[in-house]
């Protein structure tokens, strides 16, 4: 089955929904595709369809914002494909997706990628112990699954999510044992002027801090996890003082805390598999989350017809995401000849100024979450870096010391990054380790993006068909046309 | 540091291209006491040498290469002894299956021919094939079976050679792009983005890029390449015991030691040497997998984790170039054959013997020979308009 | 590396539908789906429709849900389909516990090749 569209939007978060709605309003035939059963993305992830909200429940701003986005989506003409995992994207553009073991093909001249972010979790000794989970994972559990990740966790890492999660846990009746913030209080204070760009969000942040203070939860700034103890479950967590770069300060005293849960995260990283597959230009901007696609003011990438909106174009938060989505949708409409330059300009100018304002706040938040390479100084040779393949820091260092000089070389030598998570979890760590040796992230490079974009069963990708059907396909003809004669007799006999 | 004048050193012999061909030539030369340099634009063994499926199958090599393939198979099996590192090669029986009468007849001819050239292959019935490989689907007309087969971890090619060459005293210039070579009558100047190397002899081992390299020395060589697709699944309990192939050439399948299943068969991706822009053809992935599950139905439950492309360079007669560049004293080429990873160590050691004026155990393949066969349309252009 | 494999005893724990203060489920905001029962490695786990397997296992205090390639215990990390650490086996297939909803009678098995 092939669906021909004017525009495909991948990712139904605030950016994708806004982009799709805008383009659809201007007459483009749009398909919005996402793996979740309900639109909203990570930030506005909805609770399961099987559940009903209690009217007496406390209000939730994110839920309301998400519902209003979903509402406008349902009123539009957009084809919204839920539960579809995009497994391949090819130039031109072709998007292939699987759902319930059915594989589909979509084509369009324009493609807007709004694939959001994944969480960066840097390793430390014991981080693979069951019971260590992500900060973003915890928000997901609290919001869309309405469950506490733990009643008394230790929360560690960097960025605003630390306090958002701590706050949500307190609100739900739990009490974090301690918060270890990689950043200092000073980092937050210097951010304040920029944060005034979004007063509502700033106030929300201050309320979180006040509530954490009132609950008398220990907040340790410039601290990180030294080690997690426990074999098949977290038993205790040792925290250590660090300097501004994240490097451990061995002369100062570590603190050991008993808890069965550690929630940890070191910021968000743009999900770039699709823009990498399509060979768009990327630049490294630590303060925007790391590698980001090179974008102009209209959300265009270096590849004609390919646009990026939302956090996967650089960490900036939900508000910026929605506005950048609107701009991408507008630009795609203009590039498709659906609106005049005059209309485009009239609509673009006010959106752009709002987007720029929102971005000031978002960029500051992004900076608080940027990577601190010193955090890797606490690794021991036995610490696992690649969880899928059980590749240790020692093995990675052996490869680097023996001459492996970029991420893909380390991957080939060690198998680090070759497992089912496809390098999403260890990619940042391996890149940082290589960078220490070769000087900068540009030289260290990044894991080449590979199809399928998510592991997919062969059953879903390749439905049963006859031997002759396989042989008669166009791609089989291409493959056999260049085989030595002795292999092609079957083909010849069919003529 | 000016790349135009900075000297990278003087060498007896310089190998341009750090794949399996270049590295296996460089290693015996370095061990023979020559001052050897190896250049690669990226790291060692990252292109075709590190991207192929790691099959050793001598029975699917061309007649003229069967002896070389058996030697290559033995060398990889004993990599610890001569290379100093284990490439993770394991012996496994090889099997090629045919699903209809036409394929069966072609298979019979193939086996007769290969056996005449020294291979040990037997033809077995479909029923016998399923006894050897219980996961095979029914409907097999005939199968070829050989005990001399196996596979290795080709992704580690760069790693093992890096260590071996380093220990042998060779200088490795990885991430160093050779831009041109000048023949200075008596020595060569190798101009790179990092500086100039001076060398008495030169070996060109650039795989798909060999045609361009040969032209630096005014030697015209027609190199063609296929953009081969490979697929790998997640780890699984033992499911497949043989190195499997289908007679029509569109499927190779085996289970690596770590449990992953590697699926290939020469399905084509897109891209070309001039513009890069390599990308997978999704439909080719689907069809390759359909054929794989047709042959081994049980793999349907496994998840595909990764696909990738590797360039397979060939000359129009599908035989390699191993030997001296005509009319250029001190210049040699090596490369371009199907199954190059499997045969590479054998061809490399032969070229080293040739350069060192030692007796040759097996024939080499004159790069200046007249090739009658017509080139195929490049894979990149063959698939245009799809 | 395989000489000191940890024991997996805690997986074999009886688990009841928690109704006490220790239940991690947040009550009040939503009416959850119908109660269902499924099994994890033979242990009966109680859950509500709409919950992911990972959520239900967390609520049942089962945190160690798979064995890594070298046989070490692992559990869910990202809860959004990225890290693959919550992979379980359902009907002979690897499935992500965080992306799969619970259903009545579902048989979920621990994933991992024991060495």
Nearest CA in chain B to C92: B301
Residue C17 within any structural domain of the chain: no
- Residues of chain C with Cβ-Cβ distance to A144 below 8 Å are none
Q: Is the pLDDT of residue C3 over 50?
A: no
Task: State how far the Cα of A21 lies from the Cα of B61, in Å rounded to an integer.
Answer: 57
Same fold, A2-118+270-367 and A121-266: yes
pLDDT reported for residue A410: 96
pLDDT at B372: 78
User: Is any Cβ of chain B less than 8 angstroms from the Cβ of C69?
Assistant: yes
Mean of pLDDT over chain B: 93
- CB spacing of C30 vs A420 below 8 angstroms: no
Q: Which residue of B has its CA nearest to A421?
A: B305
Residue C12 forms contact with A (CB below 8 Å): no
Of chain A, the percentage scoring pLDDT greater than 70 comes to: 97
pLDDT, tens only, B148-186 = 999 999 999 999 999 999 999 999 999 999 999 999 989
pLDDT in tens, A358-386: 998 888 888 888 889 899 999 999 999 99
Span C69-83, pLDDT tens digits: 999 999 999 999 999
Q: Do A405 and B283 touch (CB under 8 A)?
A: no
Contact residues, chain B, for A396 at CB < 8 Å: none
Q: Mean pLDDT throughout A220-226?
A: 96
Are β-strands C87-90 and C73-74 bridged in parallel, bridged antiparallel, or unpaired? unpaired
**H helix intervals, C5-115:** 53-59
Of B4 and C79, the structure prediction assigns the larger pLDDT to: C79
Percent of chain B at pLDDT above 90? Answer: 87
Query: Per-residue confidence at A192, pLDDT binned at 50, 70, 90?
Result: confident
Residues 6+ apart with CB under 8 A from A217: A166, A170, A175, A176, A177, A178, A179
Q: Is A458 on the interface with B (CB under 8 A)?
A: yes
Interface of B with A in 156-195 (CB under 8 A): 156, 158-159, 162-163, 166, 172, 174-175
Domain regions of chain B by residue span: 7-50+156-223+317-372, 90-149+224-314
Q: Which chains touch C (3 or more CB pairs under 8 A)?
A: A, B
Tell me the chain A residues in contact with residue B304 when contact means C-beta distances shorter than 8 Å: 452, 455-458, 461
Task: Tell me whether residues A490 and B247 touch, CB distance under 8 A.
Answer: yes
pLDDT surpassing 60 at residue A24: yes
Q: Is B188 left (phi over 0), alpha (psi -120 to 50) or beta?
A: beta
ipTM: 0.94
| Mean local confidence (pLDDT), B201-226 | 95
| Chain B contact set for C69 (CB, 8 A) | 235, 258
Q: Give the closest-approach CA distance of C100 to chain A in angstroms.
A: 11
* Residue A46 pLDDT exceeds 60: yes
Classify domain A121-266 at the CATH superfamily level. FAD/NAD(P)-binding domain (3.50.50.60)
Domain of residue C53, residue span: 32-110
**Which of B339 and A234 is assigned the larger pLDDT?**
A234
How high is the pLDDT of residue A40?
A: 92
- Segment B309-358, tens digit of pLDDT: 999 999 988 899 999 999 999 999 999 888 899 999 999 999 999 999 99
Mean pLDDT confidence for A320-336:
97
Q: Which of A327, A292, A291, A337 is nearest to A441 (CA)?
A: A291
Residues 115-134 of A with CB under 8 A from B: none
Inter-chain residue contact C85 with A121, CB threshold 8 Å = no
Q: What is the mean pLDDT of residues C32-38?
A: 96
CB of B259 less than 8 A from some CB of C: yes
Q: Is A463 on the interface with B (CB under 8 A)?
A: yes
Q: DSSP 3-state helix, strand, coil percentages of chain A (rounded to 5)?
A: 40, 20, 40
C68 located within any domain: yes
Q: Between the CA of residue A66 and those of A34, A42, B362, what are the distances in Å?
A: 15, 10, 72
Q: The domain B7-50+156-223+317-372 is classified under which CATH number: 3.40.50.300, 2.60.120.200, 3.50.50.60, 2.30.30.30? A: 3.50.50.60
Average pLDDT over residues A151-161: 95
Residue of B nearest to C68 (CA): B235
Q: CA-CA distances (angstroms) from residue B269 to B229, B279, B380?
A: 6, 6, 8
What does the pLDDT look like over A90-138, one tens digit per residue?
Answer: 999 999 999 986 899 999 999 999 999 999 999 999 999 999 999 999 9
Comparison of pLDDT for C91 and A194, the residue scoring more: C91
CA-based nearest distance C76→chain A, Å: 7
What pLDDT band is residue C28 in, cutting at 50, 70 and 90? confident
What band does A64 get if pLDDT is binned at 50, 70 and 90? confident
Contact B126, B133 (CB under 8 A): no
Token pair for residue A423? 């390098």
Burial of B149 (0-12, 13-18, 19+ CB in 10 A): buried
pLDDT in tens, B348-385: 999 999 999 999 999 999 999 988 777 765 444 333 33
Report DSSP state, residue B172: E
Angle value at C-alpha A478, between B129 and B98, nearest 5 degrees:
15
Q: Which domain CATH number covers C82?
A: 3.10.20.440
Q: What is the mean pLDDT of residues C24-36?
A: 93
A206: region left, alpha or beta (phi > 0 left; psi from -120 to 50 alpha) = alpha
Instruction: Spell out which residues of chain B touch residue C93, defining contact as CB-CB under 8 Å.
Output: 301, 303
According to CATH, the superfamily of the domain at A2-118+270-367 is: FAD/NAD(P)-binding domain (3.50.50.60)
Alpha-carbon distance B155 to A3, whole Å?
38
Q: Measured between alpha carbons, how far is C53 from B357 in angstroms, rounded to an integer? A: 68
Average pLDDT on A152-178 reads: 95
- Give the CATH H-level superfamily of domain B90-149+224-314: D-Amino Acid Oxidase, subunit A, domain 2 (3.30.9.10)
The total number of structural domains that make up chain C:
1
All structural domains of chain A with their residue ranges: 2-118+270-367, 121-266, 465-494
The predicted structure's pLDDT at residue A59 = 64
Q: What is the pLDDT of residue A449?
A: 94
Strand order in the sheet with C93-96: C43-48, C35-40, C107-110, C87-90, C93-96
Taking the CA of residue B301 and the nearest CA in chain C, the distance in Å comes to 6
8 Å CB contact of A137 and C1: no
Tell me which chain A residue has its CA closest to the CA of residue C93: A457
pLDDT at C8: 39
Q: Is residue C2 part of a domain?
A: no
**In the complex, which subunits touch A with 3 or more CB pairs below 8 angstroms?**
B, C
- pLDDT tens digits, A200-212: 888 888 899 899 9
**Predicted confidence band at C23 (pLDDT cuts at 50, 70, 90)?**
confident
Q: Residue A364 in contact with residue A195, Cβ under 8 Å? A: yes
pTM of the model: 0.94
């Amino acid at each position: 089955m092939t669906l021909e569209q004017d525009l495909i939007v991948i990712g139904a978060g605030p950016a994708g929904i806004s982009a799709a709605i805008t383009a659809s309003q201007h007459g483009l035939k749009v398909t919005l595709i996402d793996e979740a059963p309900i639109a909203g993305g990570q930030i506005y992830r909805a609770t399961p369809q099987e559940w009903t909200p209690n009217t007496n429940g406390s209000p939730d701003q994110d839920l309301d914002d998400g519902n209003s986005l979903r509402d406008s989506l349902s009123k539009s003409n957009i084809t919204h494909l839920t539960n579809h995992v995009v497994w391949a994207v090819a130039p031109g553009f072709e998007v292939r997706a699987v759902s319930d073991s059915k594989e589909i093909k979509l084509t369009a001249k324009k493609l807007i990628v709004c694939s959001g972010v994944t969480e960066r979790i840097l390793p430390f000794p014991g981080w693979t112990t069951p019971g260590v989970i992500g900060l973003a994972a915890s928000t997901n559990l609290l919001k869309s699954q309405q469950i506490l990740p733990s009643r008394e966790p230790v929360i560690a890492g960097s960025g605003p999510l630390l306090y958002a999660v701590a706050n949500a846990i307190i609100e739900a009746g739990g009490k974090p044992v301690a918060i270890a913030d990689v950043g200092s209080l000073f980092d937050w204070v210097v951010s304040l002027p920029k944060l005034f760009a979004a007063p509502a969000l700033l106030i929300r942040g201050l309320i979180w801090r006040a509530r954490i203070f009132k609950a008398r939860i220990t907040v340790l700034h410039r601290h990180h996890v030294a080690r997690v103890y426990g074999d098949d479950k977290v038993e205790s967590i040792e925290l250590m003082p660090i300097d501004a770069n994240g490097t451990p300060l061995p002369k100062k005293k570590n603190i050991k805390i008993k808890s069965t849960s550690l929630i940890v995260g070191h910021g968000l990283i743009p999900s770039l598999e699709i823009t990498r597959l399509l060979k768009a230009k990327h630049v490294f901007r630590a303060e925007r989350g790391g590698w980001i696609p090179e974008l102009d003011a209209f959300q265009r990438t270096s590849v004609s017809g390919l646009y990026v909106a939302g956090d996967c174009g650089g960490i900036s938060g939900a508000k910026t995401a929605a506005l950048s989505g609107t701009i991408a949708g507008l630009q795609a409409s203009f590039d498709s000849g659906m609106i005049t330059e005059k209309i485009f300009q009239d609509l673009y100018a006010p959106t752009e100024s709002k987007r720029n304002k929102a971005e000031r706040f978002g960029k500051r938040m992004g900076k608080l979450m940027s990577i601190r390479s010193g955090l890797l100084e606490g690794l021991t040779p036995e610490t696992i870096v690649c969880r899928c393949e059980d590749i240790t820091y020692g093995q990675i260092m052996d490869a680097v010391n023996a001459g492996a000089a970029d991420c893909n070389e380390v991957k080939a030598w060690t198998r680090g990054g070759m497992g089912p998570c496809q390098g999403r979890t260890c990619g940042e760590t391996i890149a940082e380790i290589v960078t220490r040796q070769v000087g900068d992230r540009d030289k260290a490079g990044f894991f080449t993006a590979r199809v399928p974009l998510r592991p997919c069963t062969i059953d879903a990708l390749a439905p049963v068909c006859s031997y002759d059907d396989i042989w008669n396909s166009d791609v089989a003809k291409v493959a056999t046309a260049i085989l030595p004669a002795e292999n092609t007799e079957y083909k010849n006999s069919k003529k | 540091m000016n790349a135009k004048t900075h000297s990278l050193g003087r060498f007896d012999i310089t190998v341009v291209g750090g794949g399996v061909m270049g590295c296996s030539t460089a290693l015996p030369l370095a061990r023979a006491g020559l001052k050897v340099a190896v250049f690669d634009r990226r790291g060692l063994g990252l292109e075709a040498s590190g991207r192929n499926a790691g099959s050793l199958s001598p029975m699917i090599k061309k007649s003229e290469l069967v002896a070389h393939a058996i030697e290559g198979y033995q060398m990889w099996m004993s990599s610890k002894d001569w290379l100093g590192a284990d490439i993770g090669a394991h012996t496994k029986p090889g099997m090629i299956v045919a699903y209809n009468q036409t394929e069966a007849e072609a298979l019979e001819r193939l086996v007769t021919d290969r056996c005449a050239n020294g291979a040990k292959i037997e033809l077995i019935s479909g029923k016998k094939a399923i006894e050897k490989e219980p996961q095979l689907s029914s409907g097999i007309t005939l199968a070829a079976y050989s005990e001399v087969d196996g596979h290795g971890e080709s992704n580690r090619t760069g790693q093992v050679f890096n260590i071996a060459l380093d220990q042998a005293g060779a200088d490795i210039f990885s991430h160093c792009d050779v831009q041109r070579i000048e023949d200075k009558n008596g020595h060569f100047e190798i101009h790179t983005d990092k500086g100039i190397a001076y060398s008495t002899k030169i070996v060109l081992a650039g795989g798909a890029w060999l045609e361009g390299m040969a032209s630096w020395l005014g030697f015209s060589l027609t190199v063609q390449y296929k953009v081969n697709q490979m697929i790998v699944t997640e780890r699984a309990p033992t499911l497949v015991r043989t190195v499997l192939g289908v007679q029509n050439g569109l499927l190779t399948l085996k289970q690596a030691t770590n449990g992953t299943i590697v699926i290939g068969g020469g399905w084509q991706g897109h891209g070309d040497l001039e513009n890069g822009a390599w990308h997978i053809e999704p439909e080719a992935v689907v069809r390759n997998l359909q054929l794989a599950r047709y042959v081994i139905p049980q793999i349907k439950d496994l998840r595909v984790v990764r696909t990738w492309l590797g360039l397979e360079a060939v000359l129009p007669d599908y035989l390699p170039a191993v030997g001296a560049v005509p009319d250029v004293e001190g210049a040699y080429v090596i490369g371009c054959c199907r199954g190059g990873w499997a045969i590479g160590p054998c061809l490399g050691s032969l070229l080293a013997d040739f350069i060192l004026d030692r007796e040759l155990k097996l024939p080499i393949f004159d790069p200046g020979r007249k090739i009658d066969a017509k080139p195929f349309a490049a894979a990149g252009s063959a698939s245009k308009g799809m | 590396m395989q000489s000191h494999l940890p024991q997996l005893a805690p997986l074999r724990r009886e688990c009841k539908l928690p109704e006490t203060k220790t239940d991690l489920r947040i009550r009040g905001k939503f009416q959850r789906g119908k109660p269902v029962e499924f099994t994890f490695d033979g242990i009966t786990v109680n859950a509500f429709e709409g919950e992911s397997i990972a959520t239900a296992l967390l609520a049942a205090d089962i945190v160690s849900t798979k064995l890594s390639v070298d046989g070490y215990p692992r559990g869910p990390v990202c809860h959004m389909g990225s890290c693959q650490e919550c992979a379980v086996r359902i009907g002979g297939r690897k499935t992500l516990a965080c992306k799969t909803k619970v259903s009545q009678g579902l048989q979920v098995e621990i994933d991992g090749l024991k060495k």
